[in-house]
Amino acid sequence: QKEVEQNSGPLSVPEGAIASLNCTYSDRGSQSFFWYRQYSGKSPELIMFIYSNGDKEDGRFTAQLNKASQYVSLLIRDSQPSDSATYLCAVPQGGKLIFGQGTELSVKP
Amino acid sequence: GAGVSQSPSNKVTEKGKDVELRCDPISGHTALYWYRQSLGQGLEFLIYFQGNSAPDKSGLPSDRFSAERTGGSVSTLTIQRTQQEDSAVYLCASSYPMNTEAFFGQGTRLTVV
């Protein structure tokens, strides 16, 4: 089992819809969870972090964490074409920041 | 500086040559990471420095790869006897102690010809 797993996609949603991105992790001791966005040819950019079970909202973005299920998700409401990018889940494990393979999101006008 | 700075932005080198990639982290950040990203792929962990502790080198793909961090700040990633499969974007990130948000530099695109 990979340490951090994401569906590679691509995930295609129409403009204005909700995009749901999922991530599972293997280390039950993980305490913090990060979502990065990476546009093509650019570096990853931190967009959300979450430490506690439940939901955390920031504008159109909501991170959801369920430690019992070892599952973290990112919801993007009112998706825009500018949200088209690869979304990377990252989890510190054993001191290292481990990334999932990323999910490519395409928002169609 | 305001962000993580990497140099050079692009590097083209001949197979068999050595290269050095530099990373200047955000001031005050004690943790520094190096990753490699091949075209269309995810981020491959290479090495992690935390303060004065021994670095976690578990991701280095071969003994041709090494890294150091001087004075707890600037880091250099060295690739000896480069091979074509080393071609990738090398990304550096820094953070306060582990489990906190990490911020990336713009990366160094390495092309081995």
HSE-CB of B21 using CA atoms within 13 angstroms: 33
Cβ–Cβ gap A44/B104 under 8 Å = yes
Average pLDDT over residues A29-39: 93
Q: Which residues of B touch A (CB under 8 A)?
A: 33, 35, 41-43, 45, 48, 50, 56, 58-59, 91, 93, 95, 98-107
Residue A93's pLDDT is: 82
pLDDT of residue A21: 97
3-state secondary structure string across chain A: CCCEECCCCCEEEECCCCEEEEEEECCCCCCCEEEEEECCCCCCEEEEEECCCEEEEECCEEEEEECCCCEEEEEECCCCHHHCEEEEEEEEECCEEEECCCEEEEEEC
Q: B16: distance to nearest CA of chain A, Å?
A: 27
- Note whether B31 and B47 are within 8 A (CB): no
- What is the rounded distance in angstroms from the CA atom of residue B59 to the CA atom of residue B94? 17
The better pLDDT of the pair B103, A1 is held by B103
Task: Supply the pLDDT for residue A1.
Answer: 61
pLDDT at B99: 66
Contacts of B66 (CB under 8 A, 6+ apart): B60, B77, B78, B80
Q: Which candidate in A36, A38, A96, A99 is best for mutational testing of the B interface (most B CBs within 10 A)?
A: A96
Average pLDDT over residues A71-96: 94
| pLDDT for position B1 | 52
| pLDDT value at residue B97 | 78
Model confidence at A47, in pLDDT bands (50, 70, 90)? very high
The whole-angstrom separation of Cα A62 and Cα A55 is: 7
In chain A, whose CA is at the least distance from the CA of B46? A96
Beta carbons of A96 and B41 less than 8 Å apart: no
pLDDT in single tens digits along all 113 residues of chain B: 589 999 999 999 999 999 999 999 999 999 999 999 998 888 999 999 998 888 999 999 999 999 999 887 999 999 999 999 999 999 999 998 766 889 999 999 999 99
